[in-house]
Structure 1
Amino acid sequence: MTFKLKSMPHAIAILAATGALAGMNPAMAQQQPETAAMQRVVVTGSLISRANTETPTPVQVLTAQDIQRSGKTSVAELLTDLAANGAGTLGTGFSGAFANGASGISLRGLTVGATLVLIDGHRMSPYPLSDDAQRSFVDVSSIPFDAIESIEVLKSGASSLYGSDAIAGVVNIKLKKQFKGTRLNAEYGDTDRGGGRTRRTSFSTGIGDIDADGYNTFITAEWREQEAIKVAQRDQYGWANRNWLSRGGNDLTLGVPTSLNGGLTAASTPFLYNSATAAQGNPNPGATNPANFRFLDPKCNYELYRAGGCAVRDEVSNIQPATENLNVVIGMTKKLSDDWEIAFKGSLFKRDSINNRGVPGAYSPNNFAGSTTLVNGVLTGGVNRIANTRFAPGAPVGFGRTNPFGQAASLYGYIPGLAPLNTTDNTSKSTRFSADLTGSAYGWDVNAAVGATRVKVDAEYSGYVNRAALYNAINQGRWNVLGPNSPELIQEVSPTFSNRLETTLNYFDLSGSRELMQLGAGPLAVAAGVHWHNLKQNAPPSSQTLNGAVASTSAFAIGEETNSAAFAEIRATPITNLEVSVAGRYDHYDTYGRSFTPSANFKWTPIRQVGVRGNFARGFRAPNPSEVGNAGSFFTFNAINDPILCPNGLTSTAGNVIAACGQNPPYVQTTTNQNLSPEKSKSYTFGIIVEPMRGLNMSLDYYNIEISNLIVTRAGNDPTYVPQWVRGAAVPTTVSAGGTATTLATPIVGPILYGESPYINAGSTQTHGIEADVRYRWRLANDLGAVTANLSAAHTFGYETTVAGTTYQLAGTQGPSSVGGATGNPKNRAQLALGYNRGPLDVTATVNYTSGFSTKDPSHDAVDCNSTALNVGGRTYFQGLPQPLAYCDVSSFTTTNLNVQYKLSENLTLRAAVLNLFDKEPPYDVGTYGNAGAQTSYNASLHQAGAIGRFYSLGLAYQF
C-alpha cells in the first residue's frame, strides 16, 4: 500500500531530512524540558475529559497561533485548505450557488450536509439557503479570526454523540473563553493581477482573570472588506477567456456570431434582423445576407459584426464577490464558587456580498416562453408567455424607431441600464446567544447549556427582467432600446425587489460525567446527557418569482423540525494501556420518527512510543425541511440535446432548432416527498500513533464510511428516469437550414419548459482512504531558535457510488458531478507547514497540494473525453467538435503561502504574508459548473487561490 504525493517531493524531502537530522544529531535537536502534567480537557469526539489529547478517533486541532500563522484573512479560506476537505465543498467563488456568498466544509467528500459544524460544542442555525437547495450547512465565512481559541476537526462519524448530521465528522470552532488587556489589529492586502483588495481591522478588550478575580468580560469586534475580482481582470489567461478557437474549440465570446448561435447573437449595440422567410416575402433570408440587418448605432455594422468586431467584454462577472463583514463577540464568565462557573456569550456575524451571473439580460428576438411557477405544490409553466416578440413592418421599436423592413423583424441586443443578470445583494446576519453552566456536584462533572441562534438573510435582487413590461414599453414607444431610460421605467422593466429568509435554532444540552469505580487497570468513567433542539426554516419564494413576473430567483423551503435525544458514553481501561469506550444515542425527530446509533472506540498503547486506535460507528441523517417541508427549487443538471428538436446535437443539421442543441434544460424540484427515510451510515477507522522521540509525533489512520438510502434528486441518480418534459407552444424560432445557414420556422413541438425531479431514497456511497498527520518540533543548538514541521495528508483509495445496482468508481474523477458545482474528487490532498521561530521572529511557509483528476464521471454517462465538457459541466467549449485529450484531465495544483511575524517591541507586532507566493495559475477544469455563469474553466472550490493569484498583505497588531 503506497501513498505518494508526486508534486511535493521537495517538501517531503525537507521533512524527512529534518527528522533524520534530528535523530542523528542530538546536540542539534535538543530535548525539550519536562513539562507539568497536562490539564484534563474535553476533546471533540467524547463527553469525558482526558489528559492525553491523542484520542481513539483522529482529531486535527488548529490553535489560535496556527490560524494567525496561516496568512489567511478568513475562516472560510483556512478550512478550504484542510486535507480532509473534499468533493462537494462550497466556496465563496461559486457565484452560481443557491447559497451564493456562503461557505461550507465537506469532510471526506461526503458533501456539506454530512459535516456538522459546532460553535463551542453546540449547534448553530444553518444558512437559510441550502446547498443545491437540499443540503443544510453552517456558513463559516463570517466567523472572526480574533475570537477563535481553536478549531477541532473530528475526522470520524459521530452521530452517536452529536446527532444526525455528523456522518462524515465534526468541525468544532471554539471561541475564546476569556481575554485580558486590549489588542488592536489592522491589515491591508492586495493582489498582483488586480482586484481583491482587502482591509481588516479588529479590536479586542477584556477585564478580569477567571482564576484570580473570579470573572472575565471581553468584547471582540472585527471589520473586513474585500473587493471583487472580475473575470475581465483575468481574461488574459486561457481559463478566464471565452475564445477557445486556439484550443480546438468554439468562440464563446459574447457578441460574436458562430455556428453555435446560428450566426445571430446579441452584440455590443442592438440591431434589427429581418427574420421573415422566403415564403413570408423575404427574397434572400438568412444571417449571411447583409440586407437583413439594421444596426441602430453606427458603432457597429454588418462587416464588423461578422468579424467579431462588436464583441461584448464581460466587465461584471466575478471571480471573487465583493464582501464586507462586521463581527462582534461579547463574552462573560463568572465563578459562582470553587466548583461552579457560568459563561454567557453573544455574537453578531454580519456579511454583505454581491453576486451576479454576467452581463445584463438580452432582448427576446422571436418569442418568450414564459416563466415556471411553483406555488403550494402547483406547477405552472409558460406564465406571462409572449408568443411573438417580433415587430411588424413599420411598427415602433421603441423611442421613435420603427421596423424599416417590409417583413417582420427581430430585435437583438442587450437591454441597457440594467444591473448584471441575476444579481443578488445578500446581507446575512448570524446571531447567537448562549449560556453554559459547568461545575461539579456529587462526584459528577456537569455541563448545562441553553442557546438561541438565528441566521437572517435579506436578499435584494436586480437584473431580472419582466418581459411583459419590457415589450409593453417598447410597443408603446416609451423604451429607448439604446438607452438611457428613466430610473422609473427601468424599475418597471427590471424591478428591484427583496426577500427575507431565515432559520432559527434553539437548543438545550445537559450532560454529566464521572468516574464510577476502578475497573481493571484504570477507572470506569461514564457520561450521559440529553439534547433538544428546534429548527425552523422560513425561506419563502420572492414575490416576483411567486407570480411569474421574473425567472426564478432561487430555491425556497419552509419547514420545522424538533429533535429530542438522550445519549451516553462509557470508558474503561480493562487492562494496562488499553482504553475502550462505547457510546449510544437515541433520537426522536418529529419529521420522521426514531433512530438509535451506537459507536465503539479503542486505543491500545503496547509501549510508550506506539499506540493503536480504532473506531466503529453507525449514523443517520434525518430528512431536513428542504426535503420534507414546503419546498421547491429550479435548477439545471447537465446539458442535453433536445431528443425531438436536436436529436444529433449538431447545429449544422437542417431542421435542428439552434437553441435546443446542447441546452441546459430546467428541472423543478417539486413538492417534497413526505415518505423519505433517513440516510444511514456505518463507518470505522483504524490507525497507529508513533512517537519515536520527544517532539516527533506521527499518526496514520484508515477510514471507511458507507452511506446508504441516500436522499437524492431523481434526475441524474435514477437510470430508469426518463424526464417527462413539459413543453411550451410551438412558435417560430431559429432553425438550421444546413451548414451555417439558418431560417425562421415553426418546429413540430414547442421548447422544453421544465422537467420534474422529486427527491428519492436511492443508492449508496462508500469512501475509504488514509489520513496522515506528522508533527515535529525541535530546538536548534546555541539558542538558534526552534523549527517546526506539520504535515497533514489524505489519500482516497476509493469513492464508490452505487445506483440501481451498478457501482461506479469516482475517486480521481469529476464525480459525483451532480453535487456542489462538480467540484471534482481528487485522490490526494496535503498541507505541509514549515516554521522557524527565534526571539521576535516567526516565519511559516505553508504548502497546499491537490492532486489531479479526470473530468469524466462514469455515474453520469461521462465515460470518454468528448462527453465531459458538455455532459458534466454543461459547457459548450467543444460542442460539435472533438475535445482535445489535454482537457480530459485536471492537473495537480500546488500553492505556497509565506507568513512572517516580527515583534518590534513587547507590545507591537508586524506581520507580512504572501499567499500563492509563486503565482500559480489554476489548472483547466472543463467539467466543473461551479462558475458557469462567468464561463470560466477553472475549479472555484479547489483552485480558487490560483484564480486570485499572488496576494500580499501587511498588518500591525498592538497589545497592552
Structure 2
Amino acid sequence: MAQTQDAVSAQAPARVVVTGSLISRTDTETPTPVQVLTAADIQKSGKTSVAELLNDLAANGQGTLGTGFSGAFANGASGISLRGLTVGATLVLVDGHRLAPYPLSDDAQRAFVDVSSIPFDAIDSIEVLKSGASSLYGSDAIAGVVNIKLKKNLNGTRVAAESGNTQHGGGKTHRASISTGIGDLDNDGYNAFITAEWRRQGAIKVADRDRFDWANADWRSRGGNNIRLGVPNGLNSRLTATNSPFLYNPAGPAKPGINPATGKPYAAIDNSANFQFLDPTKCNYDLYMSGGCAIRDDKTNIQPQTENINLLVGMTKKLNADWELAFKGSMFQRNSVNNRGSYLSAYSPTTFGGNNSLNNGVVTSGNSRVPSTLIPANAAFNQLGAPARLYGYIPGTDPFATQDNTATTTRFALDLHGSAYGWDVNVAGGITKVKTDIDYSGYIDRAALYNAIFNGTWNPIGGNSPALLNTVSPHFSNTLESKLNYFDAVGSRELMQLGAGPLALAAGVHYHKRTQNSPAASLTANGQVAQTTAFVIGDETNTAAFAELQATPIKNLELHASGRYDHYKNFNKFTPAASFKWAPMSQFGVRGTYAKGFRAPNPAEVGNAGSFFTFNGIDDPVLCANGNPNTAGNVPTACGLNPPYVQLTTPSLSPEKSTSYTLGVILEPVRGLNATLDYYNIKVTNQIVSAAGNDPSYVPAFVRGPVTPLDIANGDGTTSVGTPALGPIIYATSPYVNLGGTKTSGIEADIGYRWRLPNDLGSLKANLSAAHTFSYLTEAAGGVSYQLAGTQGPSAISGATGSPKDRAQFSLAWSRGPLDVNTTVNYTSDFSTIDPSLGVNDCSGPGGTSFNVGGRAYFRNLPQPEYYCHVASFTSVNLNLQYKLSQNLTVKGSILNLFDRQPPADVATYGNSGAQTSYNASLHQAGAIGRFFSLGLAYTF
C-alpha cells in the first residue's frame, strides 16, 4: 500500500507560484505572458553575465542600459527596459521581493536594479512577466516584471572554471565558481548551501577597434569630418589640443599659405611663425597641420574592465510538517573602470569660465574661474614674444575623466511559509543595500593648474613632481548608498467550489522603506573640478494591501481579478487588474489581461537632487544668431553649442499612470509543439519629464557668464580676439513636470518544438521568441504626437538607443548522449536615424540628424550621405557546446558572434558620442566586441 501511495505522489504535478499571480498552480501557462529561463538555459547560453543574457531578450527594447554605454549617468550598471518603456518602468525582483536600486539613476532620474551584479551560479530561474503588474507588485511594474529566482537548496559540490578571449583584442574573460550544499529537507529536515563566483572581464578600448569604420573617427573617406582628437579642422578653427603642448600667438601676422588641395588660402592661423611646439620630437608644424599629432584613444572603453566577486549563503529548516524557515544572505560585488569619453585633461587656451555646482537646490556658477589663460610673453617657455595660448593635453595626468566604481549589493532575507487554519501563508522580510564607492581620476583643478603656470612652478611638457600633479589633477572619492528594507505577508486558500472549480483567494500586505544617500563628490560640490555624478538624497515609504481572486466558473475558463491599494507620503493609489484564460481543448486556448499601473515619483524627482544634462545642440541666439561659425561677428565656440541644463526636482509631482491590456492565443497543434502569440497595448500618461525639450511653454532662461575676450570670426575663415556683446551661456534650469505620455502596441510570439530524431540520432529543441512593435507614440503637450516606432527616438531616453520595430531570438539545440549543441540567433531590425519628436524630417541635408540630435559632428556643415539616414539590421549567432567526459566532468566551449558581424553605423545615438564611436551600444554591443571564444570545465561530486 505504501508503495502505491509513493507512486501516486510521484505522479502528482507540483504546484508552483508563477510571477504575476499569488496563487499556486500546476499549469505554468498562465493568463499573463511569462517567459521562463531555467538554470540550464542560462548555462547553455554561452554568456558569462546576467546583463548580457537579458540584453538579448526580444521584449527588451529602447532605453536599455548596457555596460558598453560609456555616456550613461549610471555607467558600469545594466538595466532592462521591457517594451521600450525605459528601465524605470520595468520592475526587477529577487525571489519575488524588491531589491535596493542602484545609487546612480539612469539619466539621473530613473531608478533601476543593476542586473550586472547578479551571478550566474546563484540563479535557479528567471521569469519575465510581460504584462502590467502594479495590482500585485505596486510601483514600477508598468511594462512588466523580471523576477530573478535564486537557488533554494543544493546538494553535493560543483566546481567550474572557464576562460575566453576576443578575436580582435581586449576583453579577456575568466570565471570560476564553486557551489556546495548539505542536508536533505525530507530526510534531515534541513539544507544549507553556499555558492561563490569570481569573474573578471578585460576592457576593450576604442584603440582596439579603430580599424573598423564604426570606431574610426576620421570620416573624410565617408564624406564627413576628421574628428579624431588632436586633428585641426574647420570645426575647431584649426586649433585643437594635441598629443604634445604647443603655443599659438593669436595676434600674430596673418600670412595665409595656399592649400594645394583647394587652391584657396588657408586660414590665418596656418602660419608656422605663430606656433611654438614645445616638444618638436612629438609634434611640429608639419605633423600638426597633417593631423599627425592626434591623440590615440587608448583610454575610452567600448567595454569596461569589470571584476565580480559574489557569495550566496542559503539555509532552510523544516520547523514541522507544514512550516519551513528559509534564510538567504548574499554579497554581490562588481568593480568596473569606466570613463565618460570626455577629453578633460587639456589646457584651456582662452578663458576658463569656471565649474558649476549644484547643492541643496542652489546653483553656483563660475567656481575656480580663470579670467585669462593667456601665457604671458615673459613666461620662461614662451618664445613667441607675445601673450600666447597653450594647446595640448596635460602631461602626467589621465587624459580622460575616469571612475573606478565598486558596487557592493548585500541582501539578507527571511522567508517563512506553511499552513495554518486552512491558509497557505508566506511571510517575508529583508534588508537590502547597494553601496557604490567611486574613485575619480583625470579631473582637473583649473585654478590650481593656471596658478602653477603663472607662478612658474609648472612645466607644460611634463616632469612635474607627484605632489604638484596631485594638486592639479587630484584623485578623490565618493560613497553613494541606496537601501530598501521590506516586509511582505501573503495568505492564500480555496474558499469554496464555484462552478467547475474552486474559488481561491490570496491577500497580503506590503511595506518598504527606501532611502538614497548619493551626495555629490566633495570636489564637485565646491566647484573645484567639473561635474562627476548627479546627486540624490531622499527617502520613500510605501505601505500597501492587495488581494487576488481566482475562479473557474465553467470548465476550462480561468478568471483572475486583483487589486492593490498603495499609500505614499504625498498620494494614495488604487490599481486593479483582471485576466482570463479559456482553453476549450488541449490544443487551443485564448488569454487576456487588463491592468492599471503606476510609477511613483522617486527621490531623484521629488527629493533633494539635481544634475546637469544636455539634450540638444543649439546656436547661441546672440553670439551665433545664424548658426555659421564663419560669419563675421559670430563667436565660433557659440555655434553648435550643447549648453548644460540644471535639472531641478519638483516635490509636487504626481505618479505616472498606465493602462494596459494583452490578448493572445495558446497553441499546441501537435505533440511537442507549443506556441503563444500575444498582442499588447500600453498607454502611459502623466509622465515625469524635464520641461526642457518637452514643454512647449518652456523657454530656457540662460544664465550667462561674465563678458571675456573670445575668438570672433572675421568673415574670411580667420578669427581675431575681441570682446563680444554678452558673456557665454553657462546653463539654464529645467524642472521636472507631469506632461504628455507614451502609447505603444505590438505583438510577441514564443514558439517551441521538441522532437526525437530517428535511429537514435538524439533530440532537437527549437525555440523562437519574437517581438514586433506596431506603434510607439510619444504624446507632447497640446495633443501633438510623434510616431517613433522604427526611428531613432525618443532621443531624450537613455542615449537615443533607437526604436527598432522587430527583435527576435531563435535557438536550436541538439542533444545526443553526452553531447549538447546549442545555437542562438539574435536579430534586431533596421531603423531610421531621424527622431521626429525633435522636428527633424530630413537627415541628408547639411548638418543632418548627426548634428540635430545631440550635437554629433560627423557631418556637421556637410551633406550627410543618404546611407547614414538609417541603421542597418543586425544579426549575431552564438554557438555553445557541452560534452560530458564522464558522469562528473563536463567540458564546454562557446563562440559568441560566430560570424564576427560588425555593428551597423548609428550616427545619431549619443551613448558613445564622447568616445567618437558611431555604433549603438544598447542594441549592437555584440558586434563591437566581435567574435569571442571561451572554453570551460565543470566537475560535480
TM-score (norm 2): 0.96
AA aligned opposite 2:614? T
**Higher mean C-alpha deviation, range 261-270 or range 131-140:** 261-270
Out of 95, 119, 122, the residue aligned to residue 147 of structure 1 is 122
Gaps of 5+ in 1: 1-33
5 Å-filtered alignment, 1:588-737, equals 588-590=567-569, 592-670=570-648, 672-737=649-714
DSSP-derived class of the 1:567 partner: strand
**Which residue of structure 1 aligns with residue 741 of structure 2?**
764
State the shift of 1:736 in Å.
2.4
- Determine the C-alpha separation between the residues in 2 that align with 1:637 and 1:529: 43
1:561 paired with 2:561, answer: no
1:898 aligns with 2:879: yes
Deviation at 1:266, TM superposition (A): 1.0
Aligned: 1:938 with 2:932: no
- Indicate whether 1:217 and 2:201 are aligned: no
Q: 2-side partners of 1:38 and 1:730: how far apart?
A: 78
Kindly indicate whether the alpha-carbon contact (under 8 Å) linking 1:507 and 1:531 is maintained by their aligned counterparts in 2. Answer: yes
Which residue does the alignment assign to 1:851?
A: 829
Give the whole-Å Cα distance in 2 for the aligned partners of 1:304 and 1:265: 13
2:389 corresponding residue in structure 1: 410
**Runs of at least 4 residues of structure 1 off by over 6 A?**
none
Distance in 2 (CA, whole Å) between partners of 1:920 and 1:899 is: 17
Contact 1:275 1:285 in 2 (8 A): no
Of 36, 43, 47, which aligns to 2:18? Answer: 43
Residue among 152, 163, 169 paired with 1:177: 152
Q: What's the CA shift for 1:784?
A: 1.6
2: CA distance between counterparts of 1:824 and 1:568?
Answer: 38
Deviation, structure 1 residue 661: 1.8
Which amino acid in 2 is paired with 1:597? T
Residue 387 of structure 1 aligns with an amino acid whose one-letter code is P
Query: Structure 1 CA distance, aligned partners of 2:919 and 2:621?
Result: 30
C-alpha separation between the residues in 2 aligned to 1:603 and 1:391?
77
Unpaired runs of 5+ residues, structure 2, are: 1-8, 255-265
For residue 739 of structure 1, report the CA deviation from its aligned partner. 4.3
Query: What amino acid sits opposite 1:687 in the alignment?
Result: G
Determine helix, strand or coil for the equivalent of 1:783: coil
Letter in 2 for 1:589: Y
Using a 3 Å threshold, how does the CA distance of structure 1 residues 218 and 139 change in structure 2: closer, same or farther? same
The answer to whether the Cα contact below 8 Å between 1:288 and 1:741 also exists between their aligned partners in 2 is no
- Aligned-pair CA distance for 1:663: 2.1
Is residue 326 from structure 1 mapped to residue 305 from structure 2 by the alignment? Answer: no
More moved, 481-490 vs 48-57 = 481-490
TM-score (norm 1): 0.94
1:125 counterpart = 2:106: no
Cα deviations across residues 421-470 of structure 1 (Å, max 9, x unaligned)?
Answer: 22100010000000000101111110000000000000111111000000
Q: Which residue of 2 aligns with 1:6?
A: none
Aligned-partner SS, 1:48: coil
Partner of 1:434: 413
Q: CA deviation at 1:224?
A: 0.3
User: Does the 8 Å contact 1:736/1:743 carry over to 2?
Assistant: yes
1:905-944 to structure 2, matched below 5 A, reads 905-944=886-925
Q: Relative to structure 1, is the Cα distance of residues 810 and 285 closer, same or farther in structure 2, using a 3 angstrom cutoff?
A: closer
1:233 match: secondary structure: helix
Equivalent residue number for residue 231 of structure 1:
206
User: What is the rounded CA distance, in whole Å, between the counterparts of 2:627 and 2:126 in structure 1?
Assistant: 50
Q: Secondary structure at the match of 2:497?
A: strand
Equivalent-residue separation in structure 1 for 2:103 and 2:720 (angstroms): 46
1:636-658 superposed Cα distances (whole Å, 9 cap, x missing partner):
21222222222232223222222
State the 1:734 CA deviation. Answer: 2.1
Written as runs of structure 1 = structure 2, the 5 A alignment for 1:262-341 is 262-276=237-251, 286-299=268-281, 300-341=283-324
**Matched residues in 1 for 2:267 and 2:321: separation?**
92
Matches within 5 A, 1:532-551: 532-551=511-530
Cα contact 2:750–2:769 (8 A) shared by 1: yes
Structure 1 distance, partners of 2:10, 2:555, is: 24
Maintained 8 Å contact 1:262/1:736: no
Q: Secondary structure at the match of 1:141?
A: helix
Counterpart of 2:651, as a letter, is Q
Letter in 2 for 1:194: G
User: What is the Cα deviation at residue 179 of structure 1?
Assistant: 0.8
1:33-72, aligned counterparts within 5 Å? 36-72=11-47
SS of the aligned residue for 2:928 comes to: helix
Deviations 1:289-318 (A, max 9, x none): 211111101222222211112222111111
Q: Which stretch shifts more, 119-128 or 375-384? A: 375-384
Q: One-letter code of the match for 1:523? A: P
* Partner Cα distance (1:653, 1:269) in 2: 31
1:338-363 Cα deviation digits (max 9, x unpaired): 11101000000001100113455110
- Larger deviation, residues 180-189 vs 638-647: 638-647
Identity of aligned pairs, percent? 68
Aligned to 2:787: 809
Which amino acid counterpart does residue 764 of structure 2 have in structure 1?
A: V
Aligned residues: 916
1:195 paired with 2:161, answer no
**Amino acid in structure 2 at the alignment position of 1:727:** R
The superposition leaves residues 203-261 of structure 1 with CA deviations (integer Å, 9 ceiling, x where unpaired) of 10000112222211000000000010000010011100111111111110111111100
Task: From the superposition, tell whether residues 162 and 178 of structure 1 become closer, same or farther in structure 2 (CA, over 3 Å).
Answer: same
Q: Check the 8 A contact 2:300/2:400 in 1, yes or no.
A: no
CA contact (8 A) 2:36 2:127 kept: yes
SS state at 1:213 partner: coil
Moved more, 822-831 or 412-421: 412-421
> Which among 498, 505, 520 is matched to residue 519 of structure 1?
498
Q: Are 1:255 and 2:233 matched, yes or no?
A: no
Residue 574 of structure 1 aligns to a residue in which SS? coil
1:720-869 pair list within 5 angstroms: 720-804=697-781, 805-865=783-843, 866=845, 867-869=848-850
Equivalent position of 2:460 in the other structure: 481
SS in 1 for 2:759: helix
2:749 corresponds to which letter in structure 1? A
| Distance in 2 separating the partners of 1:778 and 1:213 | 39
One of 325, 332, 337 as aligned partner of 1:349: 332
Shift of 1:720: 2.8
Whole-Å separation in 1 of the counterparts to 2:253 and 2:726: 22
Q: Which residue of 2 aligns with 1:22?
A: none
Secondary structure of the corresponding residue to residue 886 of structure 1: helix
Inter-CA distance 386–52: structure 2 relative to 1 (3 Å threshold): same
How far apart are 1:721 and its partner, in Å?
A: 2.1
- Cα distance, 1:843–1:787 mapped onto 2, change above 3 Å: same
* 1:781 partner SS: coil
Does the 8 Å contact 2:346/2:399 carry over to 1?
Answer: no
- Amino acid aligned to 1:883: Q
After superposition, the C-alpha distances for 1:893-929 in whole angstroms (9 at most, x for unaligned) are 0000000000000000000000000000000001100
- Asked if the contact 2:872/2:904 (under 8 Å) is kept, the reply is yes
Counterpart Cα distance in 2 of 1:792 and 1:342 = 37
Give the Cα–Cα distance (whole angstroms) in 1 for the partners of residues 526 and 546 of structure 2. Answer: 47
Partner of 1:467: 446
1:367-419 Cα distance to aligned partner (Å, 9 max, x none): 0011111121111211221111102221x2xxxx3322333211111111112
Give the residue type in structure 2 aligned to 1:383: N
Contact 2:571/2:654 (8 A) holds in 1: no
Q: Aligned partner of 1:312: which letter? A: I
- 2:932 aligned with 1:947: no
Moved more, 796-805 or 635-644: 635-644
* Kept after mapping to 2: 8 A contact 1:275/1:286: no
- State which of 366, 372, 389 in structure 1 corresponds to 2:373: 389
Query: Partner amino acid for 1:793?
Result: A
Tell me the secondary structure at the aligned position of residue 381 of structure 1: strand
Asked if structure 2 preserves the Cα contact closer than 8 Å seen for 1:734 and 1:745, the reply is: yes
